[in-house]
Amino acid sequence: MHLPLRSPLFDDVYFCAESGLEETRHVFLKGNGLPEMWRGATHFTIFETGFGTGLNFLATWALFESTAAPGQNLDFISFEKYPLDPETIRKALGHWAGDLGALRLELFLNAKGRDFDAPRPDGNTVRLRIIEGDINDTLPLFQTERSADVWFLDGFSPAKNPQMWTPRLYENMARLSRPGTRVATFTVAGAVREGLTQAGFRVEKAPGFGRKRHMTQGVFKG
């Protein structure tokens, strides 16, 4: 078992103890219908609440590299209030360097702190943008030409981090979504499901990862 990184501030883990990478793949990738969702898209945009160690980003990038066709581009836009330093990330993710791609991990760690453009072999890009600050302040101000194709609704558990999981967050997720935009999250907390529903997402429970019986996935109805 890989000892997961823990936040003393939130008294919660960044990813699960059994297998953070498998959890990411189950909850955020499979839970959002990836890679099928990006099939045929010239530009695919993922928004994430809580960048943390970048495990979700790196797992997404690895999947994109192995499944995307030439001519496809990935934008990954993540919101983070407490950015981690590269050394902490290196220690937290080193265990998965093989699965995530050692070269990708190094590229990412060396670029940390800046917007990050990784050229793909076919000349296109995987672009990471980290928006620093409290998401309830930064997301409402965020403007973009392209709406979200999927949301990774991460962040520490709603019980331990209720300040992040607000109606303001869900309303701004809706503002940046289009009909058909998908969302996935590890939690099935009633307030989260209700908030997403009120904002226009149709949500359902799906099998959770590891010890968690359920997770939530949804689609924006518009």
Ligand X SMILES: C[S@@+](CC[C@H](N)C(=O)[O-])C[C@H]1O[C@@H](n2cnc3c(N)ncnc32)[C@H](O)[C@@H]1O
Q: Which residues bind ligand X (CB under 6 A)?
A: 14-15, 50-56, 79-82, 134-136, 154-156, 161, 163-164
* Least distance from ligand X to the Cβ atom of residue 12, Å: 7
Nearer to ligand X, 160 or 205 (CB): 160
Output 74 or 124, the one with its CB closest to ligand X.
Answer: 74
CB of residue 156 to ligand X, shortest distance in Å: 5
Tokens of 71: 């001519």
CB of 76 vs ligand X, minimal distance in Å: 11
Least spacing, CB of residue 154 vs ligand X, in Å: 4
Q: With respect to ligand X, which residue has the nearer C-beta, 96 or 220?
A: 96
Q: Judged by CB, which is closer to ligand X: 161, or 221? A: 161
**Which residue has its beta carbon closest to ligand X?**
50
